[in-house]
Structure 1
C-alpha cells in the first residue's frame, strides 16, 4: 500500500514538471534555440507550483461551472 501512495505522489509531481517543461521548451526554442534550458526551468517552476498546491490544499473556485 505504501508503494502505491508513493507512486501516486511521484506522478503528480511529474505531471506538473512535464507540462511546465513542455511550455518552457517551446518558449526557449522560440526565444533563441534554448529548448533544453527552457525545459529545465519549466520543470523547476512546475514542481514548485505542484508543491505549493499540495501544501495549501486544493480549493475549488467560487465561480466554478454552475
Structure 2
C-alpha cells in the first residue's frame, strides 16, 4: 500500500492490520511504517498469521471476528 493511501485510511479512523508468521518481523515493519508515514500506534496493528497453517488462519480469523 502506498503511504498516501495509509494516511487517508487513518484519517477515516481505519486500523491497518499487518500480518506475519513472525511477530518480531511484523513489529519491525510496523515501527518503520509509523516512522515513515507519521501514523499513530492506534492506527497500525500487528498480528501473527502463518498462511501455511490452517490453525493459524482460523485463530487469526477468530480474533478478527471478535
Q: Greater Rg, structure 1 or structure 2? A: 1
**TM-score, normalization by structure 1:** 0.28
**TM-score, normalization by structure 2:** 0.28
Structure with the higher helix share, 1 or 2 = 1
Structure with the higher strand share, 1 or 2 = 2
